[in-house]
Structure 1
Amino acid sequence: MMNYDSPYQALKESGIRDLVREFYRIMDSSPNYAELRAMHSSDLSGISENLGDYLVGWMGGPQIYLEKYGSVCMTGPHKSFSIGSKERDAWVSCMYEAMESLDLCDDVKMMLKDPIYRLADAVKNR
């Protein structure tokens, strides 16, 4: 069993960015996430960078997103989207699938599982 104080300590920025790239690769290619994908623009590069910046800080690393945008509140950027339980669950499922695809160690997956769900649940607006 590994002993990490934070997911950032285990994954480093490069591992978090790999996770985000894999998350969007799966979302972009899997029919399971077609509705979730349709909520995004055709070019995923900007949102991928934003989520990477956010997750680096959220997982215990440098606060890149906060420095760029002055806030880490996620409800504002998601206001224009209709996000209910179905959308939340699809996002969470896609993120879990990305963690499995990258074969993250079980300690890191367990460290992230509940917080990832709570993060997605926090942006629900219907």
Structure 2
Amino acid sequence: MVLKKMTDWLASLTQKQANDKPTSLYDLIGGKDTTYKLCHRFYDIMQSDPKASELLAIHQADLTQTRQKFYEFMSGWLGGPPLFEQKYGHPRLRARHLHAKINQQMINQWLYCMNQALEDCVADSRLRQVIWQNLVPLAQHMKNQD
């Protein structure tokens, strides 16, 4: 029942507006500014919180390009401009991450950082929940090690 209400609520938000332009999660959370803030907050947490130390260790020391690519990916994933695809083609997330050993611990740490970033950057708890419900399966899909 709760999922049905959430689905109905999100559907009502994403219906075409008066200008006949559909609204996306990207728009609903605040567009470019909030998406950028969310992505950078994610990496700030990963770099500063000891609970994500193993996740940080599998990344390059300089996260400048990684932060930018994550923002570009999330922009499109949330329904905004498909910046990542325009630059690099289809994300093929799992294939692009095969160089890293991603086990359940890495997934848990990634989700921990993302949960914190969502809490810090997305004001509406219902929008956070919708994003979270879609990110968890995506993160689980990345697992390539037991």
Fold shared by both chains (TM-score > 0.5): yes
For structure 1, which runs of at least 5 residues remain unmatched after alignment? none
Map Cα deviations across residues 81-109 of structure 1 (whole Å, 9 max, x no partner).
01011111110111001111235211210
CA distance in 2, matches of 1:76, 1:43: 22
Closer, same or farther: CA 55–103 of 1 in aligned 2, 3 Å: closer
Q: Look up the equivalent residue of 1:121 and give its one-letter code.
A: Q
Provide the residue aligned with 1:106 in structure 2: 125
Q: Normalized against structure 1, the TM-score is what? A: 0.92
Q: Look up the equivalent residue of 1:93 and give its one-letter code.
A: Y
State the SS of the aligned residue for 1:24: helix
Identify the match of residue 76 of structure 2 among 52, 57, 67: 57
* 2:17 is equivalent to residue 8 of structure 1: no
CA distance in 2, matches of 1:33, 1:40: 11
Max Rg structure: 2
* 2:99 is equivalent to residue 90 of structure 1: no
CA distance in 2, matches of 1:72, 1:50: 10
Provide the residue aligned with 1:35 in structure 2: 54
Shift of 1:35: 0.6
For structure 2, which runs of at least 5 residues remain unmatched after alignment? 1-8, 15-23
Q: Say what the alpha-carbon RMSD is for the aligned residues.
A: 1.6
Shift of 1:72: 1.8
Q: Look up the equivalent residue of 1:10 and give its one-letter code.
A: L
Q: Look up the equivalent residue of 2:59 and give its one-letter code.
A: H
CA distance in 1, matches of 2:91, 2:123: 25
State the SS of the aligned residue for 2:93: coil
Larger relative contact order (CA 8 Å, sep ≥ 6): 1
CA distance in 1, matches of 2:71, 2:89: 16
Q: How many residues align?
A: 126
Q: Look up the equivalent residue of 1:79 and give its one-letter code.
A: L
